[in-house]
Chain A
């Protein structure tokens, strides 16, 4: 059973702070890693993808991947109230002709003014 673990939170941070979200996964054959943001009542939307060890930065977001330790994290700098949402970690392993994703349960982030 492939597992993706996230702390459910809520993680509460003040506006302007750095929010750090973490995710661990069990399948060493995983090849691609994603962070999705989901606002209440909406569908998930992709915000970051990472495929190799190290850091990947996109604006205020930085994804970090460590395959040896089997974890992936998301840092949100200068957090804004509009960042308040649930963040889903997803990990893909190849299954036949498709990449089969496994999602974590999500971490709820609250950014308070």
Chain B
């Protein structure tokens, strides 16, 4: 997953706690994406950013906020975590050869108890 890094790899939160998932890319792409993946649900887009300073909602944005302060980093914040947010979170960027494809980071496995 060289090119996209995510931190942390694992996290356990209690209901109501907050945290920020970090994503960074070194491929100089304008677009960045956040997905969640639940068993049997495939990948669902939470938010995406078409360029530095801009963000747009995806399919499942409720309960999340994002920040794209610079071209390299795109963070996802859970202000008040809920058990329904237990999931694996993937950050993605466009592929370097064909920009329509997606290239995924290693993921963050989040459990909310």
Complex contact B56–A96 (CB within 8 A):
yes
CB distance from B3 to the nearest CB of A (A): 12
Residue numbers in B under 8 Å from A98 (CB-CB)? 31, 48, 50, 56
Of residues 56 through 113 on chain A, the ones whose CB sits less than 8 Å from some CB of chain B are: 88, 90, 92, 95-106
Count of A-B contacts with CB under 8 A? 64
**B35-73: contact bitstring with A at CB < 8 Å (1 yes, 0 no)?**
100001111110010110000101100000000000000
Q: How far is the CA of A92 from the CA of B100 in the complex (A)?
A: 7
Task: List, in ascending order, chain A residues with CB within 8 A of B45's CB.
Answer: 100-102
Kindly state the interface size class of chain A when it binds its partner. 20 to 34
Q: Is the interface of A mostly helix, strand, loop or mixed?
A: strand
* B38 CB to nearest A CB, Å: 10
A46 at interface (Cβ–Cβ under 8 A)? yes
CA distance A39 to B33 in the complex (A): 21
B50 touches A101 (CB 8 A): no
Is A43 in contact with B101, judged by CB distance below 8 angstroms?
no
- Write out the residue numbers on chain A whose beta carbons fall within 8 Å of the beta carbon of B102: 34, 36, 44, 46, 90, 101
Given A97-B50, A98-B31, decide whether A106 and B42 contact each other with a Cβ distance below 8 A. Answer: yes
Distance (whole angstroms) from the CB of B56 to the closest CB of chain A: 7
Q: Which of B79-106 contact A (CB under 8 A)?
A: 90, 94-95, 98-106
Are A43 and B1 within 8 A (Cβ)?
yes
A106 contacts across to B, CB distance below 8 A:
42
> Can you list 9 A-B contacts (CB < 8 A)?
A43-B106, A46-B95, A51-B100, A92-B100, A96-B50, A97-B30, A98-B50, A102-B45, A105-B42
Residues of B within 8 A of A (CB): 1, 30-31, 33, 35, 40-45, 48, 50-51, 56, 58-59, 90, 94-95, 98-107
